[in-house]
Amino acid sequence: MIELIPIEESKLIREYREELEHETLSPYAAFSDMTRGREKEDKECDLRPCYQRDRDRILYSRAFRRLNGKTQVFLAPEGDHYRTRLTHTLEVNQTARAIAKALRLNEDLTDAIALGHDLGHTPFGHAGERALNRVLQQKCGMSFKHFEQSIRVVDRIEKHGEGLNLTWEVRDGIVNHQVDTIPATLEGRIVRLSDKIAYINHDIDDAIRGNVISEKDIPKRFTEVLGNSLTSRLNYEIHDIIRTSFGKNDVTMSKGLQELTQELREWMFANVYTNPVCKGQEAKAEAMVIELFEYYCNNPELMPEDYRRMLENDDLNRVVADYVSGMTDRFAVARFKEIKVPFGWDVY
């Protein structure tokens, strides 16, 4: 017979879990019961600590689901196995969890940051981001950066304008996941590094699949250290981060791997990210995004009701950028055809 562990009636499951964090996690971890809190008061869950709750809110958001229809590197690739923004996000999350577990840091916080870090990405990858940034600067002096938009998504756009009301630590990790900023928590720093190694290594994998490069094209100065496969490269980098950071109040790569990763990133920009096979359609994609932006600026009444309500407090250009940036690739193409191609002519 299975013996059930008694639980004090006056104590919540969440409180047991918060106590367990203090017993098992590193002293450098972000503890759920020590969060800086949320911008709006929110009743605590009886089961889930705050960071798990944030992870669930992101996972069930509309913006998260739409990541499946957004470009990572290849625009409209021929084949089912190229990465989308969603698969990239899941791979960042997997890498980040492995590091967080080894360093005894908070996996729930790591999950939430990783799953939310790219919610603000546009259709057509960085081509869409460049287009919106350019047109916003020209029209009103605003800028568009995907990591800032990710915060706007969780604060202002999701839940029909109510926002997800995430904790300070999750929001900090999302907005600071770029390489030129430092998150406040070690969990955020894990995601920042995991994003870097994930997109470089997985983009190599997609580029090889797309015949942009072959494994033998990768210079020996990289393969001699990192190996000759996706698995060996990720394995080396994850182990390096864990070894370098174990028992420390920081999460970082060794100096040697930092330098090698930067060199590999530069090699990728020269040989993959600017390759015509990957980027041959980007000019068309940018033009399409700008056309959609201009159209909805001139016809804001045609945006969904959630966005029309935002016009009561927000600038028209910003709200239109919110709407267009949230589109999937397929939806953006369909809307473009609808507004630019006369009915019945699309068969020609």
Residue 323's nearest CA partner among 287, 282, 345, 294 is 294
Q: Which residue type sits at 80?
A: D
DSSP string computed for 130-142 = HHHHHHHHHHHS-
pLDDT for res 10: 58
Mean pLDDT by 10 residues, the chain (348 residues): 60 92 98 97 94 98 95 62 85 97 98 97 92 96 95 97 97 89 96 93 85 90 93 96 97 96 91 73 91 97 96 96 96 93 64
Task: Give the CA distances from residue 85 to residues 68, 70, 146, 228, in Å, rounded to whole numbers and listed in that order.
Answer: 6, 5, 12, 25
pLDDT for res 48: 96
Q: 3-class DSSP state for residue 119?
A: coil
Question: What's the N-to-C CA distance of the chain in angstroms?
Answer: 72
pLDDT for res 148: 95
Q: Find where tokens 């068969």 sit.
A: 347
pLDDT for res 188: 98
